[in-house]
Structure 1
Amino acid sequence: MTTTHPKASDNSAAHTALWALVAVSGVANLVASVAQAPLLVNLATGLVTLAALTALGTRHLRARRTRV
């Protein structure tokens, strides 16, 4: 049985953009926490990070299902 793997170039721009968003929003959340920024800033950066990680996880699971 042969399994086919998606090419590395398939949606790699979206994958890279999501990881960049995770990194930037994670650092922003860290800075906001250390600087004791208002709660709204901490929540916003945390939610952006969570959304990007959720999107990455969803993409991974969908790609895994299509490989079989």
Structure 2
Amino acid sequence: MTDTSPTRTAALWTLAALAATANLVTSLAHAGLAANLTTGLITLAALTALGARHQRGRRERA
């Protein structure tokens, strides 16, 4: 059984929101490529983890 606790899901949503906001700020501020890539990859990783948790949860309910 996988852990689909609401606390971890909330933490992932928070991470995704903060990273997306940081990515927007670095883009608007014309920050360096490294900053844009880092915040974008963190956002992508958090959203991928949320998607994977969602799919695992659907499989367990079926």
TM-score normalised by the chain length of structure 2 = 0.93
Amino acid at match of 1:67: R
Identify the residue that residue 19 of structure 1 maps to in structure 2. 13
Matches of residues 21-36 of structure 1 in structure 2 within 5 Å?
21-36=15-30
Counterpart CA distance in 1 for 2:46 and 2:16 is 6
Matches of residues 1-68 of structure 1 in structure 2 within 5 Å?
10-68=4-62
Unaligned ranges ≥5, structure 1? 1-9
Amino acid at match of 1:35: A
User: Considering only CA atoms, is the larger Rg found in Structure 1 or Structure 2?
Assistant: 1
CA RMSD of aligned residues (A): 0.7
Find runs of 4+ consecutive structure 1 residues off by over 2 angstroms: none
Larger proportion of helix? 2
Unaligned ranges ≥5, structure 2? none
TM-score normalised by the chain length of structure 1 = 0.85
Q: Percent identity?
A: 56
SS of equivalent to 1:14: helix
